[in-house]
Amino acid sequence: MAVFRVAIFLLLFAAGASFALYAITSQVRYKHTGLAILKWTLLAAFVFFAVLIADRLL
């Protein structure tokens, strides 16, 4: 469980770094990369926590 939390935080940090690079360089590829990382990280986090909640209920 701790491994998944660390992975999620590292991916969120990577998305933040991409947005910071976009703010510094104004290159659109960094914004697209940051949005893709953020989208898939949030999806994985929601699935992970949904499995934890389902496990508690069952």
| Containing structural domain, residue 40 | 2-57
* Residue 42 neighbours by CB distance under 10 Å: 14
**Is residue 23 pLDDT above 80, yes or no?**
yes
pLDDT (average), residues 33-43:
95
**pTM of the shown model:** 0.82
Give the chain's domain count. 1
CA distance 5 to 25: 30
**Is residue 1 pLDDT above 80, yes or no?**
no
